[in-house]
Amino acid sequence: MDSSKLSTILYSNKLDVKKFENLLSNNDQGYKFFGLEAILKLIAQNRQVFTFEDVIDEMIVGAWRMVTHYHLRLGHTVNGNAENFLEHAIRILYECSKKDVGNKSPSKDRLLFLIQKYQDDLMDDKLDLTDYVPYRLIKPFVEKEGKDYIDRKNYSRFIAYLNTFTKVNHEFFYDITDAENPLKRKIRLNEEWVNFILQNYAVIMGWLRFNKALFIQDRNPGVPGVMYKVAPETEEKRKSLKNARELWIATVDVTGRPLYEIYTGNELSIDEFDLDHFVPRSYVSNDELWNLTPMAKKLNSSKNNKLPERRYIKDFVEYNYYLYSLIFANGNKDQTAILKQYFDRCENQHLNAI
């Protein structure tokens, strides 16, 4: 079974799943991935009618972390500059909102607020995006006349054509309600499609995100963990560091030796330390135990997503060796037994820990 093709996974005797699958065709800049995903998310909120702007704002929110945290490219670049309107909009919003956001990862509600706050700065990119979503997105459902209107950007004629067409074709995905402001035009979804999507939501979203990940990987060759970086950040995905922290604290309890920080050599209080990702998480996209080292909270905040200097590698490796020696090569069987219990708790979350 080809998991990149939805029509090999799902079937409907009422709706043309192949046309829905082809919504992602001719997708050079990837807008259709983010646009369709935005529409699916709005459907999941029990919304059947929404504006173009609602979709584009949801696209910005959906791609925000990929661009600002993982520094992934969404489309082509020219002289190192983003030629992708979605990526460009996110970079503008990121620069405008630095004082509002700081080093924190903003919530969805916060991002939507910031999008409205800096609406004027984003307007050109948002208007350019409307050429692709929703007009070109719907192309697989229309005939040659409708496609010609889209190609000529004669959107008023296209909307009139579309609304006439949907009156006789009840399998249509959506029609459009006109408005003077292009961003205030509305998408009205076909109820049959809404029901089909809600009934098969996990499968459809999985198919979409799989294809989106393949696209992003192609745009970012050599970047590790793209599948994880493209997936939504959830509590389950963002593994808790609690067990790893307790393991390090246990080394203090059983040996009597304090923790120390490899960057400064300073001792650390077991009540006041963080676990630092030696190689930034924004690059490796995991919380594996091998990549974690105790660090003062203040220094961890200032290090942020910077790679450490090469001179710290030796100390990092030696401190990890110390930890694993206590667990697996310790002559004190009592200490080993205690630490092994804490390590076993980590192992379920840190599958590549050894």
Q: Are 134 and 174 in contact (CB under 8 A)?
A: yes
In whole angstroms, what is the distance from residue 267 CA to residue 296 CA? 9
Residue 23, SS3? helix
DSSP secondary structure, 264-290, as one string: T--EE-TTS-EEEESS-HHHH-S--GG
Q: Are 184 and 191 in contact (CB under 8 A)?
A: no
Compare 62 and 76 and report the one with higher pLDDT.
62
Compare 210 and 351 and report the one with higher pLDDT.
210
End-to-end CA distance of the chain: 34
The mean pLDDT of 278-305, rounded to a whole number, is 78
Distance set, CA 191 to CA 20, 43, 201 (Å): 15, 11, 15
β-sheet bridge partners, residue 206: none
The mean pLDDT of 52-65, rounded to a whole number, is 97
**Type of residue found at 92:** I
User: Which pLDDT belongs to residue 57?
Assistant: 98
Q: Where are the domains of the chain?
A: 6-230, 242-347
DSSP secondary structure, 203-216, as one string: HHHHHHHHHHHHHH
Compare 237 and 169 and report the one with higher pLDDT.
169
Mode of pairing for the β-strands spanning 186-189 and 259-260: unpaired
User: In 10 A of CB 179, how many CB atoms?
Assistant: 13
The mean pLDDT of 7-25, rounded to a whole number, is 91
User: Which pLDDT belongs to residue 103?
Assistant: 64
User: Which pLDDT belongs to residue 78?
Assistant: 56
Q: Are 197 and 43 in contact (CB under 8 A)?
A: yes
Q: Which of 163, 164, 211, 169 is nearest to 188 (CA)?
A: 163
Residue 20, SS3? helix
- Residue 279, class by beta-carbon neighbours within 10 Å (0-12 exposed, 13-18 middle, 19+ buried)? middle
Residue 147, SS3? helix
Tokens of 203: 């499968």
Q: Which of 186, 182, 230 is nearest to 73 (CA)?
A: 230
- Residue 252, class by beta-carbon neighbours within 10 Å (0-12 exposed, 13-18 middle, 19+ buried)? middle
Q: Are 316 and 262 in contact (CB under 8 A)?
A: yes
Q: Decide if pLDDT at 238 tops 90.
A: no
The mean pLDDT of 329-352, rounded to a whole number, is 79
User: Which pLDDT belongs to residue 237?
Assistant: 46
The mean pLDDT of 69-88, rounded to a whole number, is 80
User: Which pLDDT belongs to residue 228?
Assistant: 76
- Residue 69, class by beta-carbon neighbours within 10 Å (0-12 exposed, 13-18 middle, 19+ buried)? middle
Tokens of 320: 């990890």
Q: What angle do CA 342, 344, 348 make, to 5 degrees?
A: 125
User: Which pLDDT belongs to residue 277?
Assistant: 86
Compare 320 and 232 and report the one with higher pLDDT.
320
Query: What rounded mean pLDDT belongs to the chain?
Result: 88
Locate the DSSP E strands across the chain.
Answer: 49-51, 77-78, 81-82, 174-177, 186-189, 259-260, 267-268, 274-277, 292-295
Residues of the chain with pLDDT > 70: what percent?
Answer: 91
User: Which pLDDT belongs to residue 32?
Assistant: 96
pLDDT tier at 80, thresholds 50, 70, 90: low
Lowest mean pLDDT among 53-62, 75-84, 130-139, 222-231: 75-84
Q: Decide if pLDDT at 66 tops 70.
A: yes
Residue with tokens 């704002």: 57
pLDDT 10s digits, 95-139: 999 888 876 778 899 999 999 999 999 999 999 999 888 999 999
Lowest mean pLDDT among 8-17, 198-207, 222-231, 309-318: 222-231
The mean pLDDT of 132-147, rounded to a whole number, is 93
